[in-house]
Amino acid sequence: MTTSQLYDVFLKCNGVSTDTRSLSEGNLFFSLKGDNFDGNQYALKAIEKGARYAVIDDERINNPNFIKVKNVLSSLQELAKYHRLQLKNTKFIAITGSNGKTTTKELIKAVLVKKYKTTSTKGNLNNHIGVPLTLLEIKENSKFAIIEMGANHIGEINFLTNLINPDLGYITNFGKAHLEGFGGIEGVINGKSELYSWLFKNNKPILINVDDEIQKKYIDSNSITFGLNNNAQFIFSKEIPKSFISLNYKSTLINTRLVGSYNFSNIQAAISIGLYFKIDIKLIKDAIENYIPKNNRSEIIEINNKKIILDAYNANPSSMELAIDSFLKYSESKIFILGDMFELGKFSKTEHQMVIDKLDKAQSKVYFVGDEFYKLKKEHNDLFFFKTKKELYYEMKKNKIKEKNILIKGSRGMKMEEILEKI
Protein backbone atom coordinates (compact mmCIF):
# COMPACT_ATOMS: atom_id res chain seq x y z
CA MET A 1 0.00 0.00 0.00
CA THR A 2 1.34 3.44 -0.96
CA THR A 3 1.49 6.33 1.48
CA SER A 4 -1.24 8.21 -0.41
CA GLN A 5 -3.49 5.14 -0.23
CA LEU A 6 -2.81 4.83 3.51
CA TYR A 7 -3.64 8.52 3.83
CA ASP A 8 -7.07 7.90 2.32
CA VAL A 9 -7.60 5.27 5.01
CA PHE A 10 -6.39 7.70 7.68
CA LEU A 11 -8.96 10.30 6.56
CA LYS A 12 -11.73 7.76 7.15
CA CYS A 13 -10.61 7.34 10.77
CA ASN A 14 -10.89 9.72 13.71
CA GLY A 15 -7.25 9.60 14.75
CA VAL A 16 -4.39 7.17 15.30
CA SER A 17 -3.37 4.98 18.19
CA THR A 18 -0.43 2.76 19.07
CA ASP A 19 -1.79 1.45 22.38
CA THR A 20 -4.92 -0.67 22.80
CA ARG A 21 -5.29 0.63 26.36
CA SER A 22 -6.01 4.16 25.22
CA LEU A 23 -7.43 3.84 21.70
CA SER A 24 -10.76 5.40 20.78
CA GLU A 25 -13.46 3.90 18.61
CA GLY A 26 -12.79 4.61 14.96
CA ASN A 27 -9.00 4.94 15.38
CA LEU A 28 -6.38 3.76 12.92
CA PHE A 29 -4.19 1.43 14.99
CA PHE A 30 -0.45 1.08 14.26
CA SER A 31 1.01 -2.22 15.48
CA LEU A 32 4.41 -0.95 16.53
CA LYS A 33 7.16 -3.26 17.79
CA GLY A 34 9.25 -2.65 20.89
CA ASP A 35 12.22 -4.34 22.50
CA ASN A 36 9.94 -6.61 24.50
CA PHE A 37 6.72 -6.73 22.51
CA ASP A 38 5.29 -7.14 19.00
CA GLY A 39 2.35 -4.85 18.30
CA ASN A 40 1.08 -7.25 15.63
CA GLN A 41 -0.09 -9.46 18.48
CA TYR A 42 -2.45 -6.69 19.61
CA ALA A 43 -3.93 -5.87 16.19
CA LEU A 44 -7.00 -8.09 16.60
CA LYS A 45 -7.58 -6.77 20.10
CA ALA A 46 -7.47 -3.23 18.69
CA ILE A 47 -10.19 -4.08 16.16
CA GLU A 48 -12.28 -5.73 18.88
CA LYS A 49 -11.96 -2.56 21.00
CA GLY A 50 -13.27 -0.37 18.19
CA ALA A 51 -10.33 0.51 15.93
CA ARG A 52 -11.52 0.87 12.35
CA TYR A 53 -8.32 -0.55 10.85
CA ALA A 54 -5.02 -1.92 12.14
CA VAL A 55 -1.74 -1.45 10.28
CA ILE A 56 0.43 -4.58 10.55
CA ASP A 57 3.65 -5.96 9.08
CA ASP A 58 3.20 -9.66 9.90
CA GLU A 59 2.22 -11.60 6.78
CA ARG A 60 1.01 -14.55 8.84
CA ILE A 61 -2.06 -12.87 10.30
CA ASN A 62 -5.19 -11.93 8.42
CA ASN A 63 -8.34 -9.90 8.99
CA PRO A 64 -10.51 -7.79 6.67
CA ASN A 65 -9.64 -4.74 8.82
CA PHE A 66 -5.88 -5.32 8.71
CA ILE A 67 -3.72 -3.20 6.42
CA LYS A 68 -0.44 -4.88 5.59
CA VAL A 69 2.74 -2.84 5.08
CA LYS A 70 6.46 -3.63 4.94
CA ASN A 71 7.24 -1.80 8.16
CA VAL A 72 4.70 -0.32 10.57
CA LEU A 73 7.01 2.31 12.06
CA SER A 74 8.25 3.69 8.74
CA SER A 75 4.64 3.70 7.45
CA LEU A 76 3.60 5.78 10.46
CA GLN A 77 6.45 8.22 9.84
CA GLU A 78 5.78 8.54 6.12
CA LEU A 79 2.07 9.04 6.75
CA ALA A 80 2.87 11.85 9.20
CA LYS A 81 5.20 13.47 6.68
CA TYR A 82 2.53 13.25 3.98
CA HIS A 83 -0.11 14.73 6.30
CA ARG A 84 2.14 17.62 7.23
CA LEU A 85 2.52 18.55 3.54
CA GLN A 86 -1.26 18.86 3.24
CA LEU A 87 -1.35 21.49 6.01
CA LYS A 88 -0.36 24.38 3.79
CA ASN A 89 -1.99 27.06 5.97
CA THR A 90 -0.31 25.97 9.20
CA LYS A 91 3.02 27.45 10.30
CA PHE A 92 5.28 24.89 11.94
CA ILE A 93 7.72 25.88 14.68
CA ALA A 94 10.34 23.24 15.56
CA ILE A 95 12.07 23.34 18.94
CA THR A 96 15.02 21.34 20.22
CA GLY A 97 17.88 21.87 22.68
CA SER A 98 19.54 20.27 25.69
CA ASN A 99 17.36 21.93 28.35
CA GLY A 100 14.07 23.80 28.50
CA LYS A 101 12.42 22.41 25.35
CA THR A 102 9.10 21.56 26.92
CA THR A 103 8.84 24.71 29.04
CA THR A 104 9.66 26.87 26.01
CA LYS A 105 7.10 25.00 23.90
CA GLU A 106 4.42 25.51 26.54
CA LEU A 107 5.25 29.21 26.91
CA ILE A 108 5.14 29.79 23.14
CA LYS A 109 1.82 28.00 22.94
CA ALA A 110 0.42 30.09 25.81
CA VAL A 111 1.34 33.22 23.85
CA LEU A 112 0.17 32.13 20.40
CA VAL A 113 -3.25 30.85 21.56
CA LYS A 114 -4.05 34.40 22.61
CA LYS A 115 -4.64 35.17 18.94
CA TYR A 116 -4.34 31.97 16.88
CA LYS A 117 -5.55 28.38 16.88
CA THR A 118 -2.43 26.51 17.99
CA THR A 119 -1.49 22.85 18.36
CA SER A 120 1.60 21.56 20.14
CA THR A 121 3.41 18.43 21.20
CA LYS A 122 1.64 16.77 24.13
CA GLY A 123 3.95 16.26 27.08
CA ASN A 124 7.32 15.26 25.68
CA LEU A 125 6.25 13.09 22.73
CA ASN A 126 9.34 14.28 20.94
CA ASN A 127 11.04 11.22 19.45
CA HIS A 128 10.76 9.18 16.23
CA ILE A 129 7.34 7.92 17.34
CA GLY A 130 6.05 10.92 19.30
CA VAL A 131 6.69 13.45 16.53
CA PRO A 132 4.71 11.50 13.88
CA LEU A 133 1.84 11.00 16.33
CA THR A 134 1.83 14.74 17.07
CA LEU A 135 1.83 15.64 13.37
CA LEU A 136 -1.13 13.36 12.70
CA GLU A 137 -3.19 15.16 15.36
CA ILE A 138 -2.91 18.56 13.68
CA LYS A 139 -6.06 19.80 11.94
CA GLU A 140 -6.36 22.11 8.96
CA ASN A 141 -7.74 24.90 11.15
CA SER A 142 -4.52 25.15 13.20
CA LYS A 143 -2.71 28.36 12.38
CA PHE A 144 0.38 27.22 14.29
CA ALA A 145 1.89 23.89 15.27
CA ILE A 146 4.73 23.82 17.80
CA ILE A 147 6.70 20.60 17.58
CA GLU A 148 9.27 19.57 20.16
CA MET A 149 12.18 17.37 19.06
CA GLY A 150 14.37 15.31 21.36
CA ALA A 151 17.51 13.44 20.37
CA ASN A 152 20.21 11.29 21.90
CA HIS A 153 22.43 10.69 18.86
CA ILE A 154 23.69 12.32 15.66
CA GLY A 155 21.23 12.29 12.75
CA GLU A 156 18.06 12.15 14.84
CA ILE A 157 17.26 15.87 14.64
CA ASN A 158 17.83 15.86 10.89
CA PHE A 159 15.41 12.95 10.51
CA LEU A 160 12.71 14.60 12.64
CA THR A 161 13.16 17.98 10.96
CA ASN A 162 12.53 16.37 7.58
CA LEU A 163 9.25 14.99 8.93
CA ILE A 164 8.17 18.35 10.34
CA ASN A 165 9.30 20.58 7.44
CA PRO A 166 9.33 23.60 9.79
CA ASP A 167 8.75 27.22 8.88
CA LEU A 168 10.81 28.42 11.85
CA GLY A 169 13.17 26.79 14.33
CA TYR A 170 14.70 27.39 17.73
CA ILE A 171 17.41 25.63 19.73
CA THR A 172 17.04 26.46 23.43
CA ASN A 173 20.71 25.77 24.23
CA PHE A 174 23.61 23.39 23.77
CA GLY A 175 24.33 21.59 27.02
CA LYS A 176 25.68 18.36 28.49
CA ALA A 177 22.69 16.15 27.78
CA HIS A 178 22.78 12.62 26.36
CA LEU A 179 26.59 12.72 26.35
CA GLU A 180 26.71 8.94 26.02
CA GLY A 181 24.83 8.97 22.70
CA PHE A 182 26.40 12.12 21.28
CA GLY A 183 29.94 11.27 22.40
CA GLY A 184 30.56 14.62 24.11
CA ILE A 185 29.58 18.28 23.99
CA GLU A 186 30.80 18.76 20.39
CA GLY A 187 28.53 15.92 19.36
CA VAL A 188 25.64 17.64 21.13
CA ILE A 189 26.30 20.90 19.25
CA ASN A 190 26.59 19.11 15.91
CA GLY A 191 23.49 17.00 16.56
CA LYS A 192 21.21 19.82 17.68
CA SER A 193 22.52 22.12 14.92
CA GLU A 194 21.06 19.78 12.31
CA LEU A 195 17.88 21.83 12.75
CA TYR A 196 19.68 25.05 11.82
CA SER A 197 21.40 23.37 8.86
CA TRP A 198 18.02 22.32 7.49
CA LEU A 199 16.56 25.81 7.98
CA PHE A 200 19.55 27.47 6.30
CA LYS A 201 19.25 25.10 3.35
CA ASN A 202 15.55 25.84 2.99
CA ASN A 203 15.86 29.59 3.56
CA LYS A 204 13.71 29.56 6.70
CA PRO A 205 14.15 31.85 9.73
CA ILE A 206 15.88 30.87 12.96
CA LEU A 207 15.13 32.27 16.40
CA ILE A 208 18.43 33.01 18.15
CA ASN A 209 19.41 34.12 21.66
CA VAL A 210 22.21 36.63 21.00
CA ASP A 211 23.44 36.31 24.60
CA ASP A 212 24.40 32.69 23.92
CA GLU A 213 27.98 32.61 22.62
CA ILE A 214 27.41 29.43 20.61
CA GLN A 215 24.02 30.45 19.24
CA LYS A 216 25.02 33.85 17.95
CA LYS A 217 27.50 32.25 15.55
CA TYR A 218 24.48 31.06 13.54
CA ILE A 219 22.96 34.51 12.94
CA ASP A 220 22.23 35.33 9.31
CA SER A 221 19.99 37.79 7.46
CA ASN A 222 16.93 35.60 8.08
CA SER A 223 17.42 35.34 11.85
CA ILE A 224 14.96 36.54 14.49
CA THR A 225 17.08 37.67 17.44
CA PHE A 226 16.41 38.40 21.11
CA GLY A 227 18.39 39.07 24.26
CA LEU A 228 19.83 41.70 26.56
CA ASN A 229 22.15 42.83 23.79
CA ASN A 230 21.22 46.08 22.07
CA ASN A 231 21.94 44.50 18.71
CA ALA A 232 19.00 42.11 19.09
CA GLN A 233 15.71 42.60 17.26
CA PHE A 234 13.79 42.12 20.54
CA ILE A 235 15.65 43.65 23.48
CA PHE A 236 14.85 42.77 27.10
CA SER A 237 16.05 43.86 30.51
CA LYS A 238 16.09 41.94 33.80
CA GLU A 239 14.39 43.08 36.95
CA ILE A 240 15.99 42.63 40.38
CA PRO A 241 15.63 38.89 41.11
CA LYS A 242 12.89 37.90 43.52
CA SER A 243 11.34 34.49 43.99
CA PHE A 244 10.03 34.59 40.43
CA ILE A 245 11.56 35.93 37.22
CA SER A 246 10.56 39.44 36.15
CA LEU A 247 11.64 41.16 32.95
CA ASN A 248 10.94 44.24 30.86
CA TYR A 249 10.23 44.60 27.18
CA LYS A 250 10.34 48.31 26.34
CA SER A 251 7.95 49.84 28.88
CA THR A 252 6.09 46.61 29.74
CA LEU A 253 6.95 44.81 32.99
CA ILE A 254 6.20 41.07 32.96
CA ASN A 255 6.10 39.20 36.27
CA THR A 256 6.23 35.44 35.74
CA ARG A 257 5.49 32.37 37.89
CA LEU A 258 8.79 30.79 36.88
CA VAL A 259 11.93 30.46 38.98
CA GLY A 260 15.56 29.98 38.03
CA SER A 261 17.75 32.12 35.79
CA TYR A 262 17.76 29.19 33.33
CA ASN A 263 14.13 30.02 32.46
CA PHE A 264 14.94 33.62 31.50
CA SER A 265 15.82 32.79 27.89
CA ASN A 266 12.78 30.46 27.61
CA ILE A 267 10.51 33.37 28.50
CA GLN A 268 12.28 35.76 26.13
CA ALA A 269 11.92 33.26 23.30
CA ALA A 270 8.16 32.96 23.82
CA ILE A 271 7.67 36.72 23.99
CA SER A 272 9.81 37.23 20.86
CA ILE A 273 7.78 34.67 18.89
CA GLY A 274 4.59 36.45 19.93
CA LEU A 275 5.93 39.85 18.90
CA TYR A 276 7.24 38.46 15.61
CA PHE A 277 3.76 37.21 14.77
CA LYS A 278 2.14 40.54 15.66
CA ILE A 279 0.52 39.67 18.97
CA ASP A 280 -0.12 42.67 21.20
CA ILE A 281 2.32 42.93 24.11
CA LYS A 282 -0.60 43.19 26.57
CA LEU A 283 -1.88 39.79 25.43
CA ILE A 284 1.65 38.36 25.64
CA LYS A 285 2.08 39.76 29.15
CA ASP A 286 -1.19 38.13 30.24
CA ALA A 287 -0.16 34.78 28.73
CA ILE A 288 3.27 34.71 30.38
CA GLU A 289 2.06 35.94 33.77
CA ASN A 290 -0.65 33.27 33.91
CA TYR A 291 1.57 30.39 32.86
CA ILE A 292 2.18 28.03 35.79
CA PRO A 293 4.74 25.23 35.35
CA LYS A 294 3.62 21.67 36.01
CA ASN A 295 4.68 18.06 35.50
CA ASN A 296 7.68 18.34 37.85
CA ARG A 297 9.27 21.17 35.81
CA SER A 298 10.37 23.98 38.13
CA GLU A 299 7.13 23.65 40.08
CA ILE A 300 6.82 25.71 43.26
CA ILE A 301 5.12 23.66 45.96
CA GLU A 302 4.33 24.71 49.52
CA ILE A 303 4.38 21.90 52.12
CA ASN A 304 4.48 22.39 55.89
CA ASN A 305 5.62 26.01 55.55
CA LYS A 306 8.45 24.96 53.25
CA LYS A 307 8.95 26.15 49.68
CA ILE A 308 9.92 23.29 47.39
CA ILE A 309 11.28 23.75 43.90
CA LEU A 310 10.42 20.49 42.20
CA ASP A 311 12.55 20.21 39.07
CA ALA A 312 12.48 16.44 38.84
CA TYR A 313 11.33 15.80 35.30
CA ASN A 314 14.90 15.39 34.08
CA ALA A 315 18.50 16.32 34.76
CA ASN A 316 21.80 16.57 32.94
CA PRO A 317 25.06 18.30 33.94
CA SER A 318 24.08 21.60 32.32
CA SER A 319 20.59 21.82 33.79
CA MET A 320 21.90 20.63 37.18
CA GLU A 321 24.54 23.39 37.25
CA LEU A 322 22.01 26.07 36.31
CA ALA A 323 19.52 24.87 38.93
CA ILE A 324 22.21 24.80 41.63
CA ASP A 325 23.50 28.28 40.76
CA SER A 326 20.00 29.70 40.86
CA PHE A 327 19.12 28.02 44.17
CA LEU A 328 22.34 29.14 45.82
CA LYS A 329 21.09 32.74 45.48
CA TYR A 330 18.27 32.05 47.96
CA SER A 331 19.05 33.97 51.14
CA GLU A 332 16.94 31.87 53.51
CA SER A 333 17.92 28.41 54.80
CA LYS A 334 18.02 25.79 52.05
CA ILE A 335 18.75 22.15 51.32
CA PHE A 336 19.53 20.39 48.04
CA ILE A 337 18.11 16.91 47.35
CA LEU A 338 19.82 15.74 44.15
CA GLY A 339 19.47 12.44 42.30
CA ASP A 340 21.72 10.74 39.75
CA MET A 341 22.01 12.01 36.17
CA PHE A 342 21.53 9.29 33.52
CA GLU A 343 22.79 8.68 29.97
CA LEU A 344 26.25 10.09 30.60
CA GLY A 345 28.25 6.95 29.74
CA LYS A 346 32.00 7.42 30.23
CA PHE A 347 31.40 11.01 31.37
CA SER A 348 29.26 9.96 34.35
CA LYS A 349 31.94 9.86 37.06
CA THR A 350 33.48 13.20 36.02
CA GLU A 351 30.14 15.02 35.78
CA HIS A 352 28.81 13.72 39.10
CA GLN A 353 32.11 14.62 40.76
CA MET A 354 31.83 18.17 39.41
CA VAL A 355 28.42 18.56 41.07
CA ILE A 356 29.83 17.32 44.39
CA ASP A 357 32.85 19.63 44.13
CA LYS A 358 30.61 22.60 43.35
CA LEU A 359 28.46 22.03 46.43
CA ASP A 360 31.45 21.11 48.58
CA LYS A 361 32.37 24.80 48.55
CA ALA A 362 28.84 26.13 48.87
CA GLN A 363 28.33 25.58 52.62
CA SER A 364 24.80 24.33 52.04
CA LYS A 365 23.24 21.09 53.21
CA VAL A 366 22.98 18.50 50.41
CA TYR A 367 21.40 15.05 50.15
CA PHE A 368 22.82 13.08 47.19
CA VAL A 369 20.77 10.05 46.10
CA GLY A 370 21.66 7.21 43.72
CA ASP A 371 24.44 4.81 42.74
CA GLU A 372 26.53 7.33 40.77
CA PHE A 373 26.70 9.89 43.55
CA TYR A 374 27.16 7.17 46.18
CA LYS A 375 30.25 5.80 44.41
CA LEU A 376 31.86 9.21 45.04
CA LYS A 377 30.85 9.39 48.70
CA LYS A 378 33.06 11.55 50.92
CA GLU A 379 33.10 12.70 54.52
CA HIS A 380 31.74 16.22 54.81
CA ASN A 381 29.69 18.03 57.42
CA ASP A 382 27.09 19.27 54.91
CA LEU A 383 27.11 16.51 52.26
CA PHE A 384 25.15 13.30 52.78
CA PHE A 385 25.11 10.33 50.41
CA PHE A 386 22.37 7.70 50.05
CA LYS A 387 22.44 4.77 47.68
CA THR A 388 18.63 4.58 47.48
CA LYS A 389 15.62 6.78 48.20
CA LYS A 390 14.68 4.27 50.91
CA GLU A 391 17.89 5.12 52.77
CA LEU A 392 17.14 8.82 52.31
CA TYR A 393 13.63 8.36 53.72
CA TYR A 394 15.06 6.73 56.84
CA GLU A 395 17.31 9.76 57.38
CA MET A 396 14.43 12.19 56.77
CA LYS A 397 12.27 10.34 59.31
CA LYS A 398 15.07 10.37 61.87
CA ASN A 399 16.05 14.00 61.26
CA LYS A 400 13.22 16.15 59.95
CA ILE A 401 14.20 18.74 57.34
CA LYS A 402 14.25 22.14 59.05
CA GLU A 403 15.35 24.24 56.05
CA LYS A 404 12.72 26.57 54.59
CA ASN A 405 13.69 26.07 50.92
CA ILE A 406 14.20 22.72 49.18
CA LEU A 407 15.43 21.98 45.66
CA ILE A 408 14.60 18.49 44.36
CA LYS A 409 16.23 17.53 41.06
CA GLY A 410 17.34 14.36 39.26
CA SER A 411 16.92 12.34 36.08
CA ARG A 412 13.50 11.00 35.17
CA GLY A 413 14.45 7.46 36.10
CA MET A 414 15.16 8.52 39.68
CA LYS A 415 11.50 9.57 40.21
CA MET A 416 12.58 12.25 42.64
CA GLU A 417 9.02 13.61 42.91
CA GLU A 418 8.26 10.64 45.22
CA ILE A 419 10.27 12.42 47.93
CA LEU A 420 7.46 14.97 48.32
CA GLU A 421 5.42 12.38 50.23
CA LYS A 422 8.13 12.19 52.90
CA ILE A 423 8.58 15.91 53.57
| pLDDT tens sequence across 299-325 | 889 998 899 999 998 899 989 998 999
The yes/no answer on whether domain 299-422 falls in CATH 3.40.50.300 is: no
**175 or 336, greater pLDDT:** 336
Do residues 185 and 174 touch, judged by C-beta distance below 8 A? yes
Model confidence pLDDT, tens digit, residues 232-244: 999 999 987 667 8
Model confidence pLDDT, tens digit, residues 376-396: 998 888 999 999 999 999 999
Residue 249 has pLDDT above 90, yes or no: yes
Domains 3-71 and 87-289 share a fold: no
Model confidence pLDDT, tens digit, residues 89-99: 999 999 999 88
Fold of 87-289: UDP-N-acetylmuramoyl-L-alanine:D-glutamate ligase (3.40.1190)
Residue 241 is predicted with a pLDDT of: 65
Residue 176 has pLDDT above 90, yes or no: no
Q: Which has the closest alpha carbon to 309: 198, 210, 391, 405?
A: 405
**340 or 191, greater pLDDT:** 340
> Mean pLDDT throughout 225-253?
91
Residue 1 is predicted with a pLDDT of: 87
Do residues 65 and 52 touch, judged by C-beta distance below 8 A? yes
CATH number for domain 3-71, candidates 3.40.1160.10, 3.40.1390.10, 3.90.1330.10, 1.10.10.10: 3.40.1390.10
> Mean pLDDT throughout 145-151?
95
Residue 240 is predicted with a pLDDT of: 75
Name the helix (H) or strand (E) containing 405.
Answer: strand 405-409
> Mean pLDDT throughout 120-134?
93
Q: Which has the closest alpha carbon to 372: 410, 408, 419?
A: 410
Q: Which residue type is seen at 347?
A: F
Model confidence pLDDT, tens digit, residues 272-288: 999 999 999 999 999 99
For 218, which DSSP code? G
- Tell the burial category of 11 from Cβ atoms under 10 Å away from its Cβ (0-12, 13-18, 19+): exposed
Residue 39 has pLDDT above 90, yes or no: yes
Domain ranges of the chain: 3-71, 87-289, 299-422
Q: How confident is the model at residue 332 (pLDDT cuts 50, 70, 90)?
A: confident
Residue 266 has pLDDT above 80, yes or no: yes
